Amino acid sequence: MGDDKVRVLIVDDEYAFCKSLKLFLTKMGYEAIVATNGEHALDLIKEEQPQVMTLDIRMPGMDGYEVLNHAKRLNPELFIIVVTAVDVPRMEELLERSGAHAVLRKPVSLFELHEIIARRGSA
């Protein structure tokens, strides 16, 4: 991929999850960066210009819904994949209306995540 690596921002307050996801994405040829809270995620969206963001919903402080809304304003082209253990009825519908492109439940299939990222241009 060279200098054209897709930059993925991982946003989750669980450090171990971030670490394992970053390792996997790096092995798959992506550039992965991590934010463990919403405020840091928004700063990284401005500074690093990621093309993809994985986003947890339930985080202390600014939750994923708020991050999603701000992120779409900062970068309308950002491809957002919600990755969460939260089981809210009709969550997919709510998230899609607010700009998420996909929702994955924890525990996440890493290869399914990779497929979603790889297909993002044809969605």
Residue 80: per-residue pLDDT: 95
Residue 91: per-residue pLDDT: 67
The answer for residues whose C-beta is within 8 angstroms of residue 18's C-beta and 6 or more apart is 10, 12, 34, 36
Residue 1: per-residue pLDDT: 42
Residue range 28-75, pLDDT digits in tens: 999 999 999 999 999 999 999 999 999 998 899 999 989 999 999 999
Residue 2: per-residue pLDDT: 45
pLDDT at 123 over 70: no
Strands of 7-11's sheet in order across: 31-35, 7-11, 52-55, 79-84, 102-105
- Name all domains of the chain by residue range, CATH numbers in brackets: 2-122 (3.40.50.2300)
Phi, psi of 81 (to 5 degrees): -115, 115
Tokens of 108: 């996440």
Give the bridge partners for 10, in sequence order: 34, 54
Residue range 6-25, pLDDT digits in tens: 999 999 999 999 999 999 99
Q: Is 98 within 8 Å of 109 (Cβ atoms)?
A: no
Residue range 71-108, pLDDT digits in tens: 999 999 999 999 888 776 676 676 667 778 888 888 99
